[in-house]
Chains A and B, each alone.
Chain A
């Protein structure tokens, strides 16, 4: 493509670079603005008098003698116990990703290796489940969970998120396993392996790229979920996203918006790191579905 790119006339090139710069600003500026503002006092973050206060931190300097302050973070993490939510989120994400990948790999592998007609119907069912908004299922969970005293605890939420995650995981891994030649495990079976042994010794060593990509998306689903976690977790078991939503209810009245801002920045940081390290995998995962579909 570089040779084609060189042929762009100057004015078109300027237009392209201008447009992309605009998009990059649109995409990135809000995050950096909020990151910078999270170290300020509320009067600077929301500046009525003069918007440059948000950059220079005039009121922050007046209050703390330095243009940056960590009071938002201290308030959110210690006073409002955001650390508890962070731990809960880690637990939920870890177990959701592990469980979802374990059972998803088995299922996806079976779907890709069985030629019977029912695999098609199972995949179609999974597609329908994938299309349903998770919130529509929540009213179905509440009554049984209340009856059996399962409501409000982390394990219940983990299992629910795993189940909601399965349709997507199955589709993704199904198409991934189909790209692994069938001859591999067929020849292992000819050599006397059972299907499970063939899976264990031949497929598992070569499946990691696809599994890691799928795992990333499972992680994002668990990390980003708001509808299910806010409805199924009790106050003390809240994960980060519903906790931030709860901040909005309480802190707006107390005038501690900066707690919520600090919490938002804290919850975004892991995602930044994730994209930084796994950019290629995320891109390939997004396109894998498209090429299949």
Chain B
């Protein structure tokens, strides 16, 4: 066997072992979620349950509160991601197309603020939201999501804009179009896959957010799914592992499904970001 072939074998061996590590938690979650209470006690002896059941999902999804949590999660993460992208577009455009002093500082600053824990920011923000009467309002969570998602969105959009030839914009501006008009009619449509990547990425991050909605929304009915499952886990006894597994799967699935479906586009954007950044 040639040296290269031996290397291939070693690669597969290594990735195989790692694949087990990365796949087991998902596989086990599914396995637990389709078990009857009796089969939960069989542990590893029944990886594929003897009598697989969808009852756990039925129980979870027949609770109207759970559908509301899912809807809240979708609503908050979509609106927050849209806000982040909207806030990022002008700055990303300026960083891509306009020469100005301090551009490097702006881009570095955007990178640096992402190092600040939301926990640090949330202490004062909680007080301000309270003073403004915005506690328990979706608006407060959406505003914070927009602010937290904006820096990464500026970076990703700047890279997307950089990839669009300036000549296309020059042609439009020679025809007398103003800069904002050129941006809206020429640049944004051409950058749509970059914009979509930034939006989806922000949305997936928001879907995972626990701290912000947990602190800013006190009413059960306003919670997104990420907060709800934490509360759910604290409220049940160990005898309902299969229900918790089903609830977790329902919380995890939308983010994983969207990401996996669109990962080629998102990963391309991220790799471009990693190379430039």
- A and B bound? no
Which residues of A are in contact with B by a Cβ distance under 8 Å?
none
Which residues of B are in contact with A by a Cβ distance under 8 Å?
none
